[in-house]
Amino acid sequence: MTDIAALTEAARTAAGATAAADDATRASWLRAIADDLDGAVDELVELAMAETALPDARLRGEVARTTGQLRLFADVLLEGSYLEAVLDSADPAATPPRPDLRRMLRPIGPVAVFAASNFPFAFSVAGGDTASALAVGCPVIVKAHPGHPLTSRRTAELVVAALDRLGAPGGTFALVEGFDEGLALVDSPAIQAVAFTGSLRAGRALLERCVARERPIPFYGELGSLNPVVVTPAADAARGATLAEGLAGSFQLGHGQFCTKPGLVFVPADSTLEDALPDFVGADVPKLLTEAITEGFAAGRSRAVAVPGVEVLAGDRDTATPLVLAADASTLLEHEDVLLEEVFGPATVLVRYRDPAELRTALDHLEGSLTMTLHAEPEDDVDDLVDRMTERAGRVLFSGWPTGVAVGWAQQHGGPWPATTTQFTSVGATAVRRFQRPVVYQDAPEHLLPPALRDGNPLGIPRRVDGRLALPSADGRA
């Protein structure tokens, strides 16, 4: 068994130095990792293809997404607003009198990252969790997913080599494997947060373990999502067959093993989409990523097709073919314990609604999701639908499909429980916020303040000064 105590102690020792490293230095670490991964893309893709059965083009795109994330977080560091620097001048006339107060975000310390099964690069060893934690100065220990061990080990070797070459402290990054090793990571007093992408069952168990520690720590989990889609009668009449083709492509993409797969689609009764959809559904038996996913898909499929009132529109109820089910909204509400459970794999459920009131009632029974999608026409009155979607999803899409999560400053990848456990997620610039905590310096001598809070803005970063946003001028002052 890996010596978890030694690894976590090394991470604890490194944390002071990684936190003290300036933004340009940490940005150079991220860019070096990205460059080395890009340079090894052929080797990495070959390993991942052998372990996951994912195709070459998909994996090359995922490596590019991974290195793009690393470079994005380097840009986030150099821009500077991630520190949330706020300065309030002393005001003895205030009630109560206000001292000089200066606040910023600081790294929390070593982080444990649990890699995902369905993205061997972008949500794995060097994925968004690792990149965002390293960016703000938190050492990272990754627990590899057993579905792609060789890919994980080689990726970790490249990360370590890049960090060593640039002089990062020993203990800044490490990889562990094994179920017991993962639990030992969560239990280690040195670990200050856990990030996880995986099933609701496993995520809840880790969440409870984080909370049960003598000193509880945050758990940042992405756990499950149905990603409901609503098609209005006008949209179905205008482009039902086109929508069917788009839905088929989305729910079968990656054999339905995307966390943003549309698993629940509300369509008007007697819809064109429902009639057209079977023509776009494949008949192959896909190889899923792991035995556990294969077994879970079979079990979920069996539970769903056994529900009275559920029809099989496409696929085989007894094999792992892509599957389309259909049911009336009343059936969904009567059997929501089964039909509102995520089935991870190539399956989706069409829910027929008769009128807007029935649709609204069904939507009110949904839990949180990463996404919700609306297909409507300009003449549709959909304000109420958009409000309901905003309450239940972290990303609301219009006339598109949820599979595919762009990486950028405005993006995030969360939603109300059980989609994620907090408002900050592994995608987008705000991912770094999970691994920072606010510290206020009161009446601190100038020379003891972090550079981000000193007079004259020596770092040239955006700051809020006496309640007003102060952007750096051409000379870097604010």
> Can you read off the two tokens belonging to residue 34?
């990205």
Of 62, 138, 210, 259, the active-site residue reads: 259
d(CA 218, CA 206): 11
Residue 181, C-beta contacts closer than 8 angstroms, at least 6 positions apart: 1, 2, 4, 143
Of 62, 138, 210, 222, the active-site residue reads: 222
Active site (annotated) includes residue 259 = yes
Residue 430, C-beta contacts closer than 8 angstroms, at least 6 positions apart: 412, 424
Burial 26-42 (b: 16+ CB within 10 A, else e): bbbbbbbbbebbbebbe
**Which spans in 270-382 are helix H?**
272-276, 291-305, 329-334, 336-339, 356-363
d(CA 469, CA 478): 9
Active site (annotated) includes residue 210 = no
Residue 445, C-beta contacts closer than 8 angstroms, at least 6 positions apart: none
d(CA 81, CA 470): 11
Query: Is the C-alpha dihedral spanning 240, 324, 398, 330 positive or negative?
Result: positive
Q: Name the pairing type of β-strands 311-314 and 436-442.
A: unpaired
Structural Rg of the chain based on CA atoms: 24
Catalytic residues: 222, 259
